[in-house]
C-alpha cells in the first residue's frame, strides 16, 4: 500500500528528519519530550546530509499533499569492527530513527524506507545489521528477517 517514492534524504530535509526523529523518541521515551537538542543537532545533520558519505544514510518518504513535509524515515550507520567468525570482514550496520507520522502509519512506509536502507547496507558490504525495536515495531523487523538476541551491551554516557 506504499503510495510514495522512497529516496535518500538531502540537506534540505534536515528539519523534517529531526522532527520525525522526535516522533520516534516521543513514542519510546515518554518522560522527556524536550526538543532543546534540535538547535545543536540541526547543523551537524544538515552537513551529514549535504555530503553523503559511506557511513551514514537516511531514507525518507515525502508527503504527497504537503510539499517539504516528510512522512516516514529510516536512518542507519556503517561501522568497521575487527572481523569475527560471523562477520569476517567486520562491516556492521546499525539502524536507528525509524519513524512514521502517526496519521501515515499502516501504509507500508516504514517497510519501504527500511528496505531502501537494507539495500544501502548490502551495497556497502554490511553482513550484520543491528537495531533496537519497540514492541510495536518488532513484527515489522521480524518480517524483514531480524531476530531477537541476548546482548550483554552496556552503555556509558559521557
Query: Which triple of cell numbers denotes residue 101?
Result: 507520522
Give the tens place of pLDDT for each residue, 33-62: 778 889 999 999 999 999 988 899 999 999
Query: In this structure, is residue 12 part of a structural domain?
Result: yes
Pick from 3, 17, 24, 8: nearest CA to 102: 24
For 38-57, give the DSSP string.
Answer: HHHHHHHHHHHHHS--SSEE
> Would you say residue 158 lies in a domain?
no
Domain with residue 67: its CATH number is 3.40.630.30
Q: Does a structural domain hold residue 149? A: no
Angle between helices 14-28 and 38-50 (to 10 degrees): 130
Segments in the chain below pLDDT 70: 1-4, 29-32, 154-157
Average pLDDT, the chain: 90
Kindly report the pTM of this predicted structure: 0.90
**Number of structural domains found in the chain:** 1
The answer to whether residue 152 sits within a structural domain is no
Grid coordinates of 1 = 500500500
- Report the pLDDT value the prediction gives residue 32, as an integer from 0 to 100: 66
At 138-152, the pLDDT tens digits run 999 999 999 988 777
Q: Rounded distance, CA 21 to CA 116, Å?
A: 18
Closest residue by Cα to residue 14 from 51, 47, 52, 53: 47
User: What is the domain range of residue 91?
Assistant: 6-143
Amino acid at each position: 500500500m506504499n503510495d510514495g517514492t522512497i529516496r535518500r534524504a538531502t540537506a534540505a530535509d534536515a528539519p523534517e528528519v529531526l522532527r520525525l526523529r522526535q516522533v520516534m523518541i516521543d513514542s519510546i521515551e515518554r518522560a522527556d519530550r524536550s526538543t532543546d537538542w534540535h538547535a545543536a543537532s540541526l547543523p551537524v545533520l544538515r552537513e551529514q546530509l549535504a555530503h553523503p558519505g559511506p557511513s551514514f544514510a537516511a531514507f525518507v518518504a515525502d508527503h504527497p499533499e504537503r510539499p517539504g513535509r516528510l512522512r516516514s524515515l529510516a536512518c542507519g550507520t556503517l561501522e568497521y569492527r575487527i572481523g569475527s567468525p560471523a562477520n569476517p570482514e567486520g562491516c556492521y550496520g546499525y539502524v536507528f530513527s525509524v519513524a512514521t507520522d502517526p496519521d501515515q502509519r499502516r501504509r507500508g512506509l516504514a517497510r519501504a524506507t527500511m528496505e531502501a536502507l537494507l539495500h544501502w547496507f548490502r551495497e556497502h558490504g554490511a553482513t550484520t545489521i543491528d537495531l533496537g525495536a519497540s514492541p510495536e515495531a518488532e513484527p515489522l523487523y521480524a518480517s524483514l528477517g531480524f531476530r531477537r538476541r541476548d546482548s550483554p551491551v552496556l552503555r556509558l554516557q559521557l
